[in-house]
A = this chain, B = another copy of it.
Amino acid sequence: MSKVRLGILGYGNLGKGVELAVRQNDDIELTAVYSRRDPSTVAIATEGVEVKPAEALESGEEPIDVLILCGGSATDLPKQTPHYAKLYNVVDSFDTHARIPEHFAAVDTAAKDGGSTALISCGWDPGLFSLNRLMGNCILPDGADYTFWGKGISQGHSDAIRRVEGVADAKQYTIPVEEALEEVRSGSNPELTTRQKHTRECFVVLEEGADAARVAEEIVSMPNYFDEYDTTVNFISQEELDRDHAAMPHGGFVLRSGQSASGKKMLVEYSLKLDSNPEFTACVLVAFARAVARFSNEGKTGALTVFDVPPAYLSPLDGAELRAHML
């Protein structure tokens, strides 16, 4: 079988992660990186792979089987995914949960128009965590769902802190509360408030002359982001931030705590501990890109999510090999 030819649009942390993930999959090759920046300013890690302007994609003739869209969910993907789904098979990691239905509808129309296959909202949440929520609900209909995130860097919360006056730089860790996790694991199906599930820890670099007390107060009382949480603010130097908080770890837990009709308790727990959030997300995208290529070969068009993909489609191995070695 010929290799699956991937294109990457957007060479940020996620795009770089996809580039890395391709190296671990012999049946997949990177054809080109597409960028909205001047290609001559984009130095990629893989030798022999071209960086092209995003406009090159407009022809619909680029030699790629699947285009992985590595832009952001706030402004890039709502436009990019429907646009490129008309031209290529695509995978995105659209993660604004509340807007998934409208995004799906727009991408579905575009992909059907273009005769392509488009997988949206892939990664770990939405993605692998969603699969575990779905399966937990199907297998244990009488039960409760719990999702905890962290310990890890929240990009959105870090950005929110950086917008506070007097803040030069910041990183924010979301931390699951161990006692709450243990309570869920006990099978007691607790009702947990936002504050009981996660704490938030901030590492903040002040601008010169900024009032630390006011900055701290503004952070911990920030609506939506911090006011419902127990938040710790630590002031450190830029050197310390760069040295100790440059990594992008993340992870979390999905639990389904249920019972059988006779009242026997059952607990399903799924967890991820990731030294790099974007690199792991990229690994997931690449595995699902393989599935998209297979669906496309079968003539399937339109939008899909991880819920629609038979797990065997993620593997380079055939059914007989999977049954013999993995079942």
Contact = CB atoms under 8 A, between A and B. Distances in A.
Nearest to A103: B323
Contacts of A272: 266-269
B276 A305 contact: no
Interface stretch (A1-9, A19-27, A57-65): A19-27
B276 A260 contact: yes
A104 interface: yes
A100 interface: yes
Contacts of A312: 134, 307-308
Assembly of this chain: how many copies? 2
Interface in A261-306: 261-262, 264-276, 279-280, 282-284, 287, 290, 305-306
Q: A131, A275, A309 — which one has the most chain B CB atoms within 10 A of its CB?
A: A275
A139 interface: yes
A140 B274 CA distance: 11
Nearest to A315: B138
A142 B25 CA distance: 9
B308 A319 contact: yes
Nearest to A314: B138
A134 B322 contact: yes
A281 to B, nearest CB: 10
B311 A126 contact: no
A308 B310 contact: yes
Interface string A67-81: 000000000000000
Contacts of A246: none
A65 to B, nearest CB: 17
Interface in A137-171: 137-142
Nearest to A97: B327
A51 interface: no
A326 interface: yes
A324 interface: yes
Contacts of A283: 139-140, 260, 266
B324 A101 contact: yes
